[in-house]
Copies of this chain bind each other. A is one copy, B any other.
Amino acid sequence: MNEGVEWALHSCLNLAWIGEERAVTAARLAGYHELPPAYLNKQLQSLVRAGILSSVPGCQGGFRLARSLDRITLMDVVTAIEGPDEAFRCTEIRGQGPGATTGRPTAECAIADAMGRADLAWRRELAAQTLADVRARAERQAPGAPDRIRRWFADL
């Protein structure tokens, strides 16, 4: 799985902790975790295209959350970064070689179907968790983090 998913999730939480007042620069978000700024910027752009973040161009511009954390699921973020494809990709090797059934279209591969069920269970669990849930758990585990983050992003 793309490392950008982790960056995107942390950045969304950071944006929520910083607050809505102003947009935050990609370089600044990257600086907080020492991530490559240009590359994080790409991931943030994906979040914008997915409608999770909104971006402000120009001077004093940057990124902010397009909606509140309780309306963003893990599934939203994963799909935005990773794309819609499922992990298991059926290449239909049934249809290759002497085993191929000539002519008529075959029913769906039972193996792809089975793997698809597992993928569905994964997505369901991702869709069941909002970033608000994650944030709440994070604050319970590290109560000092929100303030620390707010302070760091506050000074110039």
**A134 CB to closest chain B CB, in angstroms?**
5
Which of chain B's residues has its CB closest to A86's CB? B1
A108 lies within 8 A of B141 (CB): yes
A149 lies within 8 A of B99 (CB): yes
Interface residues of A (CB under 8 A from B): 1, 3, 5-7, 9-10, 13, 31-35, 74, 87-91, 93-94, 96-99, 101, 106-111, 113-115, 117-126, 129, 133-135, 137-138, 141-142, 144-145, 148-149, 152
Which 9 pairs from chain A and chain B are nearest by CB?
Answer: A110-B138, A122-B122, A121-B125, A34-B97, A118-B125, A107-B141, A33-B93, A110-B137, A1-B87
What are 20 of the A-B contact pairs (CB < 8 Å)? A3-B89, A6-B90, A6-B91, A7-B93, A34-B97, A98-B152, A99-B148, A101-B145, A106-B141, A107-B141, A107-B142, A109-B138, A110-B138, A110-B141, A113-B137, A117-B125, A121-B122, A121-B124, A121-B125, A122-B125
